[in-house]
Amino acid sequence: MKGVLQSVRKRYWDNRAPEEQRLLRWMGWLMLPLLGYFVLWMPAHQAVSKLQAKTQLMALQAERLHAQADEVEMLRHRPRPAALDAVALKAALEESATRHGLRDAVTAMDLQQPNAVRIAFGAVAFEQWLRWLRALQQEQHVRADSLSISILPQPGMVKVSATLINGGDQ
């Protein structure tokens, strides 16, 4: 290897005039900062700005993960609601439907064992039914197990048939 370098030096460097060698040295020293700038500093500077943007995004994601972990921990220690049997669930549904002004729209309410009730509405406003279902989920821990919704000719009115179960066993 050393022999190859010496032969290259003799062929290209030693054959040049001393003024040309001096000029090439000066040009090399002048080009060194430019080379350092374009090869080392500029790519590193661009990478740092990209990494800072990614770091901010990752910090937000980490903060969201911590908030979700805290919520999971809180929900894990929350007391579980008691499971209602079908008779108690039917009574709770009737009381809630009366309170929300939907009792007149109920056309059928049948018990389904062990903790489910099949309920049918002839004609009910869709938004009002959704608000009632949301209230049932929050207050009684009742959820829809199966659901059939048909659109009626009147705007906003639907025919609903649903099986509601108590969420105490979730």
Report pLDDT for 70. 92
Return the minimum-mean-pLDDT range out of 78-82, 86-90, 121-125, 155-159.
78-82
Mean pLDDT, the chain, rounded, equals 87
3-state secondary structure of 82: coil
Q: How confident is the model at residue 83 (pLDDT cuts 50, 70, 90)?
A: confident
Q: Identify which of 149, 150, 161 has the alpha carbon closest to the alpha carbon of residue 120.
A: 161
Q: Identify which of 86, 61, 87 has the alpha carbon closest to the alpha carbon of residue 165.
A: 86
Q: How confident is the model at residue 82 (pLDDT cuts 50, 70, 90)?
A: low
pLDDT at position 169 over 60: no
pLDDT single digits (tens) 42-80: 998 898 989 999 999 999 999 999 999 999 988 787 766
pLDDT above 90: percentage of residues in the chain: 41
Report pLDDT for 140. 82
Highest mean pLDDT among 81-90, 105-114, 152-161: 152-161
Q: Which residues contact 122 (CB under 8 A, 6 or more apart)?
A: 105, 107, 159
Cβ atoms of residues 148 and 154 within 8 Å: no
Report pLDDT for 170. 45
Report pLDDT for 2. 79
Mean pLDDT of the region 121-125 = 93
pLDDT single digits (tens) 145-161: 899 999 999 999 999 99
Q: Which residues contact 111 (CB under 8 A, 6 or more apart)?
A: 86, 87, 90, 117, 118
